[in-house]
Amino acid sequence: MNFPLNRAMMAPRGSVTETALKVGTLRMLEGASLDRLFGALSKRGYRLLGPAVREGAIVFDEINSAADLPAGWTDEQEGGTYRLKKRSDDALFGYAVGPHSWKKFLHPPAERLWQADRKGKTFEVTEEKPDTQKTAFIGVRSCDLHAIAIQDKVFLNGYYVDPLYKARREHAFIVAVNCGQAGGTCFCVSMGAGPKAAAGFDLALTEVCEPERHYFVVEAGTDLGAEILAELPGREVEGREKAAAEDTVASAAQQMGRYMDTTNIKELLYQNYAHPRWDTVAARCLTCANCTMVCPTCFCTTVEDVTDLQGEHAERWQKWDSCFTKDFSYIHGGSIRATSKARYRQWMTHKLATWFDQFGTSGCVGCGRCITWCPVAIDITEEVRAIRQAPQSPKSSPVGDKYGNS
């Protein structure tokens, strides 16, 4: 997967000073020194966002120090199930992914696009100013790095560039964390999206918890990351520390709770528009849209206009929308996807097939959130498996009406 906008490319000219460390350098940082990293970022004006326990889940929120991280907590996940439980150690990043993804910051659920005020017989429009607050994302998993790269394609690399997204993206510093354990619904290995961060980060940490020691192996991914790493009280990584970090990630790769066979998946789905499995899944699907809300790559929005009662002031807001709502496909007198069958098929086929035609990549990174947070435990890996096990020939796959409703 491409990472078209790494920090080094996006950093303003002259913002990176000479550093003794190079991109790709590995250093050892004691666990107790993690706050020095946060201090170095705060000193440069970065707001810190990272994982924190809130209301029984690990979510992303503003943090001030390592004391705010979910020390000693992990998550247990299955279809329609999520719960926290204590670990046997005090790992700070010893969980998989929660209901939040970083899109809530880069592509917020609701954002004002412009406002208009009456001026006599006309009105004046004020566009929303881009947010230039420098922000550090702490604890970005490899699957979420891939998801950010996918949203970059949507918002930055097409015909239209979203200036509000662009500003937030340009001012983001990414501290990735390589996974040490996989969740019960994870399948990033199947999607080639993890569990080790390969690109798209400024710094990448691998947390190692041993009986007598807690430390991080830190990799610099950009010049700015290397500059900050050089300021931290670490040292060169020893061979056994590097091996321990590699073992940590390898064990996460072995623990994937789910698997998806992606061989010719685009063709498989294009040839099975009328597969009976769509009826089976539609009978369970509540069209609640949870899967699209938690998905780190889903990007669809609607716009809403609001006015005051006097007609003096109006605002246009962009809000997350979902292909699971009937209104989403309402065009000139009716919904194109009127049934839950058509809507589920649209979502899954977009993720795993048409996304390739549109953006040159899969729309799924295997984070497993849509499985965990589906109230009826519908599982995208299981749906693919069911179609793959009994595929229909293209000739036997009429698609109902011309829009695929049937």
Interface residues with ligand SF4 (CB under 6 A) are 285-291, 294-297, 324, 351, 364-370, 374-376, 378, 380
Q: Tell me which residue of 184, 164, 174 sits closest to 144, measured CA to CA.
A: 174
Q: Rounded to whole angstroms, how far apart are CA atoms 56 and 95? A: 13
CB closer to ligand SF4, 58 vs 291: 291
Q: Report yes or no: 205 and 217 within 8 Å, Cβ to Cβ.
A: yes
**Shortest CB 304 distance to ligand SF4, Å:** 22
Which residue, 237 or 294, has its beta carbon nearer to ligand SF4?
294
In DSSP terms, 317 is beta-bridged to: 112, 304
For the bound state, the minimum distance from the C-beta of residue 229 to ligand SF4, rounded and expressed in Å, comes to 30
* Side-chain half-sphere exposure of 161, counting CA atoms within 13 A: 9
CB of residue 372 to ligand SF4, shortest distance in Å: 9
* 345, 287 contact by CB (below 8 A): no
Q: In the bound complex, what is the minimum distance in angstroms from residue 187's beta carbon to ligand SF4? A: 7
Q: Report strand pairing: 26-30 vs 47-54.
A: unpaired
Instruction: Output 57 or 113, the one with its CB closest to ligand SF4.
Output: 57
Q: How far apart, in whole angstroms, are the C-alpha atoms of residue 201 and residue 223? A: 11
Helix, strand or coil, per DSSP, at residue 114: strand
Q: How far is the CB of 348 from ligand SF4 (least distance, A)?
A: 8
Nearest Cα neighbor of 317 from 134, 109, 178 is 109
Distances (CA, A) of 100 to 48, 364, 367: 16, 16, 11
Least separation, in Å, of the C-beta of 191 and ligand SF4? 7
Residue 150 contacts residue 359 (beta carbons within 8 Å): yes
- Nearer to ligand SF4 by Cβ, of 137 and 355: the residue is 355
**Residue 116's beta-bridge partner residues?**
125, 314
In the bound state with ligand SF4, the residue whose beta carbon lies nearer, of 342 and 367, is 367
Pick between residue 182 and residue 229 the one whose CB is nearest to ligand SF4. Answer: 182
3-state secondary structure of 234: coil
7 versus 103: smaller Cβ distance to ligand SF4:
103
Tell me the closest approach of the beta carbon of residue 261 to ligand SF4, in angstroms.
Answer: 15
